[in-house]
Amino acid sequence: LRRPESLALHGACAKVTEAYVPPLCDAVEGFQKLIEVRNASGTAVDENVLPDFVSARIEDLCDRITQLVDQKCPPSRVLVSCIHSVRDSLRRLHSLLPALLTRLFRAFLGRTAMDAMRSLFGTACSQMTSELCKLHGECKKLGESSSSGLDDVLEEIAKTEQALIMHGFTALTECQPLQSLLGPDKVANQQLLRGLHAQL
């Protein structure tokens, strides 16, 4: 949690779980009771009003988290931990509207996992490009030096090759925790795996 992006996401999710979700749950419970009273009195209430209200609030919440992550993705373990804290805080709301919350949050988790995966491999690609630029510079220096030979060039190539492998391996390792975001959602897990294969 020392990185700025980790602190930002952790702080935002803490505010969500402590200050945003509880009043939202209170509002939904109150709305449901109001609907029950109105229905009992014979006054019809549009059954879509409550789901539409909750959908708008949850989608806005998810969009705000997504925007924060898109600015700079924190380490995947931090991301997963923060998202799980938000998910757990929504259990009360889930008990009130289980089908709706499951659909909305599954879609959010799938998008978040894919975006994080792309961000991780985007960072790895940038690092690989830097390594190749560095290799080009080193080879140019060695080529201009009278005291350097082919062995020196091959050594630099071998170092760069190892660095490239490590950047790719690090991105792949960082993606592993993302699967815990998706849980038993087979479709989302398959989509993430297809995305990983495409990156590799």
Both tokens of residue 75? 């380490």
Q: Tell me the average pLDDT across 131-160.
A: 88
Distance CA 9, CA 78 (A): 8
Q: Tell me the average pLDDT across 136-148.
A: 86
Q: Tell me the average pLDDT across 160-183.
A: 91
> What is the four-CA torsion angle of 36, 42, 43, 45, rounded to 10 degrees?
50
Mean per-residue pLDDT of the chain:
89
Per-residue pLDDT tens for 28-56? 999 988 888 887 887 777 778 899 999 99
125 pLDDT higher than 80: yes
pTM of the model: 0.80
The pLDDT confidence band at residue 179, using thresholds 50, 70 and 90, is confident
pLDDT of amino acid 151:
85
193 pLDDT higher than 70: yes
Q: Tell me the average pLDDT across 183-196.
A: 84
Residue with tokens 């038993």: 184
The candidate with the shortest Cα–Cα distance to 79, out of 64, 69, 90, is 69
Residues 6 or more apart in contact with residue 120 via CB below 8 angstroms: 73, 76, 171, 174, 175
Output the DSSP codes for 78-141.
HHHHHHHHHHHHTHHHHHHSHHHHHHHHHHHHHHHHHHHHHHHHHHHHHHHHHHHHHHHHHHHH
pLDDT of amino acid 1:
57
Q: Tell me the average pLDDT across 11-39.
A: 91
Higher-confidence residue of 183 and 94: namely 94
pLDDT of amino acid 72:
80
Distance CA 122, CA 30 (A): 45
